[in-house]
Amino acid sequence: MTDAPSPRTQVRRHPERAAYDRGAIDAILDDALICHLAWVTPDGFPRIVPTIHVRVGDTLYVHGSEASRTLRALGSGAQVCVEATLIDGLVLARSTPLHSMNYRSVVVYGSARDVADPGERDLAQRALVEHVIPGRTAEVRMPTDKELKETAILAIGLDESSAKIRTGPPKDPDEDLALDVWAGVLPVRMTAGEPEPSPDLGPDIGVPAYVTGYRRSGRGVTA
């Protein structure tokens, strides 16, 4: 196992769940549909928004649901924290305090950079759509210059990141094993349902294979 890249990325609670290698970190970021982005407001308060993200190499791009003004203000080097969490199961122990969840999470710390270069903006906005729906950008209209300008995209390096992963059954102490109560894991996962065509869609346009066969690489979403 590699070491934590910084004190704040070191997993202190349940260190056995930590993963500091980029393979584990990348797999979670790639699988998670969304992440949560936090920053400190000018008056010193914490703030979070859920946002779509994509990892491209060593860079995490996020695309906020927040007004561009807020995101662009962050883009001048503000410190941000990004968390992506996937829930894989509910862990039912024989006592309330040992109940848990199986999960995979990543935290990234870094300073945010507003993506201004047109080429990088184009790459990032395509990658953001491909992260959510692989295959989609080959078919759809690309943004106009005006639309591209309206989109705020932030980049955060992955140098300071770590993962935390829990798997497996509950860990009841020996003295609880005789209790007459079911113990185990109830797996949960995100699944895709039946595609719902837009009411304004022409009748001769079929559902593409990347929609009917939608699934993420990991456990994130299955058809």
Please identify which residue in the block is written with the tokens 């210059």: 145
- Using the rule CB under 8 A, give the single segment among 19-27, 54-62, 89-97, 113-121 that binds a second copy: 89-97
Number of residues that bind a second copy (CB under 8 A): 95
- In the region spanning residues 153 to 182, those forming contacts with a second copy, defined by CB under 8 A, are 164, 169-170, 172, 176-177, 179-182
Residue 79 has, within 13 A of its CA and on its CB side, a CA count of 6
Binding characters for a second copy, 91-110, by CB under 8 A (x = yes): -xxxxxx-x-x-x-x-x-x-
Kindly state the smallest distance separating residue 70's Cβ from a second copy, in Å. Answer: 8
Distance, CA of 2 to CA of 9 (rounded, Å): 12
Q: Contact letters (x/-) for a second copy, 21-50, by CB under 8 A?
A: ------------xx-x-xxxx--xxxxxxx
Inter-CA distances, 182 with 28, 166, 178, 185, 189, Å: 30, 20, 11, 10, 21
Site stretch for a second copy (CB under 8 A), options 19-27, 54-62, 113-121, 186-194? 186-194
Which residues lie closer than 8 Å to 122 by C-beta, 6 or more apart?
142, 148
Residue 20 vs 129, nearer CB to a second copy? 129
Query: What type of residue is 217?
Result: S
Beta-carbon contacts of residue 96 (< 8 Å; ≥ 6 apart):
none
Tally of CA atoms within 13 A in the half-sphere of 93 that contains its CB: 16
Site membership for a second copy, residue 192 (CB under 8 A): yes
Residues 120-139 that bind a second copy (CB under 8 A): 125-126, 129, 132-133, 136-137, 139
